[in-house]
Every structure is written in structure tokens, then in C-alpha cells.
Amino acid sequence: MEIRVTSDLFDPSAELSGFAKGRMDTGAVVTFTGVVRDTAGDLKTMRIEHYPGMTEKAIAKIAGEAQTRWSLTDCLVIHRYGDLAPGEAIMMVATAAGHRAEAFEAAEFLMDYLKSRAPFWKKEITETGAEWVAAKDDDEDALSRW
Amino acid sequence: MDVLYFAWLRERIGIPKETVETDAATVSELVAELVAREERYATAFADTSAVRVALDQELSDFDAALDGVREVAFFPPMTGG
């Protein structure tokens, strides 16, 4: 299991090529990459603030639960903070398991929990101003299925 | 204890962190003390349904006791992922 909270750019394909290497009991690998989206065409920067210390602990707790619940053979979570440009990768999760159902479910569980239980806050900086991204009720509701 | 603020709470209060001497028994009592201090706290905590709290870096709630707690953090609902 690897957790990385970083301000640096990362290359999802390079991360994937090294993931779950040497684990012959892995039959399925699922990855998800979140990308900075510019819906209105005026986004300059996505600024991500986080709570150093708590962030790493919260992600470790979520990833540890996923690993146990779906018997993952490996698990990777990368999440960036700082100033990101549209099109850049914000975060990535990768899960490895014996079979695909476990790998898919664990990845979805990780995404649902990272959205509303990992202490990150996004602020969109546009040509005309800056606004904090509001949490959605849907994101909180998504946790109830687990 | 150390009190930390993140995102728009940090912006409204104007500082990321401060040390607070308090006898507050619960998070709610601490918030009431802060709100009574200055307008900027009252503005930040006007709607506590939009505020989350962590005690020693674990998500908690406003009824929680502060006994033995070293670090309290206030922030809006998280928007990771």
C-alpha cells in the first residue's frame, strides 16, 4: 500500500507500470485518475488546500479499510495539493485484487470516501474571481451504500 | 490548545492557526467563546451546519469533549478526489 500527498505533477501511466509488480496472486488492476476540469472555459487555477498530518492519516485509514474488505493485493493513492492547471491530474487510485469485482468495488469505495472524508478543499480561480467548491449532498449520500 | 482553520474559515477569521487558552468542556463551548470574542469569528461560525471539526486530526462533532485534546481544527465539508 502506498499513499502519496504531493504538490508535484505525476504521470499516471508511469505510476501504473510499477503498480502491483511481482504479485502473482493479482488477477485484476483498476485505476482511476481525477483531472482538473474547466467546464466554463475560464478556469485559470484549481487551488487545493489540505490539512497536513490529518490528510495522510485519513487516507491511510480509508485505504486500510479497502485493503482488508476486498483482500487487495496492492493499493495506491496519490493526491495533489497546491495550484493545478486545467487538464492536470489531481489524484489517482489504483487497486489490485484477485478478481475484477473486488478491484472495481474497492476503487469506487476509495473514491467515495476520498471525496468527503479526506481533508482537501478545492478553490476555483477564474479570470473574474475565486470561489470555493461546495461539497455536494450526493457525495455524502454515496457513503451510505458502503 | 492549538486551533486550526482551513479554507473559507481560515479566510474569514484571517489566520490559519492560533493557540487558545480555554476551559471549554466541549467543541460547542469553544465555538461560543470564539464567537463572543470578535465579529470575524461570529461571521465564520454563523452557520455551524456548514462547519466540520476534527480533534487531534480525527473527524469529530460539536458535542465532543475537549478533555485532553491538543489540536482542534475547523473546516468546511471536504472536497477531495
Express each pLDDT in A114-144 by its tens digit: 999 999 999 999 999 999 999 998 888 889 9
Q: Which domains does chain A have, with CATH numbers?
A: 2-145 (3.90.1170.40)
Residue A15 has pLDDT above 90, yes or no: yes
In what side-by-side order are the strands of the sheet with A120-126?
A: A82-84, A43-50, A120-126, A130-132
Chain-chain contact of B78 with A135 (C-beta, under 8 angstroms): yes
Reported confidence tier of residue A39, pLDDT bands at 50, 70, 90: confident
In the block, cell 478478481 appears at: A99
Average pLDDT over residues B9-14: 98
Q: Which amino acid is at A120?
A: F
CB contact under 8 A, A118 and B73: no
Q: Which residues of A touch B76 (CB under 8 A)?
A: 121, 132, 135
**Nearest chain B residue to A49, by CA:** B7
Q: pLDDT digits over A81-101, tens only?
A: 999 999 999 999 999 999 999
Chain centre to alpha carbon of residue A60: 12
Can you tell me the ipTM of this complex?
0.95
Quote the CA–CA distance of A114 and A116 in Å, as a whole number: 6
With H, G, I as helix, E, B as strand and everything else as coil, classify residue B29. helix
CB contact under 8 A, A51 and B54: yes
Judge contact between A135 and B76, C-beta under 8 A. yes
Check residue B7 and give its pLDDT.
Answer: 98
What's the fold here for domain B2-75?
Answer: Ubiquitin-like (UB roll) (3.10.20)
What mean pLDDT comes out for the span A4-11?
97
Mean pLDDT for chain B? 97
